[in-house]
Amino acid sequence: MTTGSRGTRILGVATLASLALTAWLALVVSPADVNQKDAVRLLYIHAPTAWLAMYVSFGVTTLASVLYLWPRTRSRLWDLVAGASAEVGVLFIGLTLAVGSIWGRTTWGVWWTWDARLTSTAVLFVLYLGYLAVRRIPADPLVRSRRAAIVAIAAFIDVPIVHLAVDWWRTLHQPATIFDERRLLDPKIEGTMLWTLLLSVVAFTLLYAWLLIHRVRLARLEELVEDRALEDALAERRAEGAAAGAPSVETDEHLATGGVR
Amino acid sequence: MTDAGYVAGGYGVTIVAIGVYVGYMWARNRTVVRLAHPPSRSGHTSAGYGPQKRDQNDDGSPPGAGDRIP
């Protein structure tokens, strides 16, 4: 009983290899920036984690939540995928903030500033922490899943705000380098730096996929074990009531309500 | 601190964070496996869910006797 399979092992090896190659390119091969010096090497973590958290992780969470709420596509799996992707996304957005803060200290001279991009990203982090908290509130599984799906869709509203914050407000944070719609085919970064950044996006995407698959399978196993334990407990109590010749209605009712009156 | 120190700090934080999350998932997986295969009251490890089925208890009494959940 495990969350691993042949496919995830191959994916894991590919993830490790691409991360190792990224680290070598970022720390050894890629040159220091004229202005940022060695601090530019932090961007090979900061940019991919931000991209993955905002657009991929929270995008998948939102899509899975919509699919869960839509009656024709409703499936328990979508709820699990939404929760798992949000959890990985919170990890990545936390890393974005932490590594960005270190980069800010060495480049701007401060660990944190109430810049529009930074503040909206911090709000995003808190929103999805709240989403994960909502998923843990004890309730009927169907009610809890529906409630969580609505919160996930509402939280995603902050993603375009984070993306456009550098255009809407005068910010200390630099505008988009790769995903600038006006210079998509002519990015303001080139050579080894560009290839290192693109490879790191691939490496972190593989890591995201590996973590997501394991997390979904783990959630599935936990539900199976919970269901089986409940079935066993009910069967045992029924057998006990039948053996004693006593009416088991109260016992069943007690179990059904989880002991709460 | 030098730029190299900050860079090392950034990469270190990343490795530790991802490592902690993977460890957290591994620990939860171990817990699930333990819950799915609990040891029976007689100390035997069950191959499936719940206590192992046997013809009689350790004291020779029929199965189920003295085996009630309090």
pLDDT tens digits, one per residue of B12-64: 999 999 999 999 999 999 988 888 776 655 555 545 445 555 566 666 666 65
What residues of chain A, 103 to 162, have a C-beta less than 8 Å from chain B? 103, 105-106
Q: Identify the pLDDT of residue A192.
A: 86
- CB contact, 8 Å: A246 with chain B? no
**CATH topology (fold) of A7-213:** Four Helix Bundle (Hemerythrin (Met), subunit A) (1.20.120)
What does the alpha-carbon distance between residue B66 and residue A234 come to, in Å, rounded to a whole number?
18
Q: Identify the pLDDT of residue B65.
A: 57
- CB contact, 8 Å: A35 with chain B? no
Contact (CB<8Å) A207/B64:
no
ipTM for the complex shown? 0.84
Whether the per-residue pLDDT at A250 is higher than 90: the answer is no
Query: Where are chain A's structural domains?
Result: 7-213
Report the number of distinct structural domains present in chain B: 1
What does the alpha-carbon distance between residue A84 and residue B39 come to, in Å, rounded to a whole number?
30
What does the alpha-carbon distance between residue A244 and residue A248 come to, in Å, rounded to a whole number?
9
- B68 falls within a domain: no
State the residue range of the domain holding B12: 1-36
- CB contact, 8 Å: B16 with chain A? no
pLDDT in tens, A118-134: 999 999 999 999 999 99
Q: Identify the pLDDT of residue B46.
A: 47
Which residue type does A134 have? V
Q: Which two tokens stand for residue A160?
A: 């375009």
What integer best gives the mean pLDDT of chain A? 88
Contact (CB<8Å) B25/A221:
no
pLDDT in tens, A178-210: 666 666 556 667 788 889 999 999 999 999 999
Q: Identify the pLDDT of residue B67.
A: 52
| Residue A23's pLDDT band (cuts 50, 70, 90) | very high
Q: Residue B39's beta-bridge partner residues?
A: B45
A90 sits in the region (left: phi over 0; alpha: psi -120 to 50; else beta) called: alpha
**Whole-number CA gyration radius for chain B:** 24
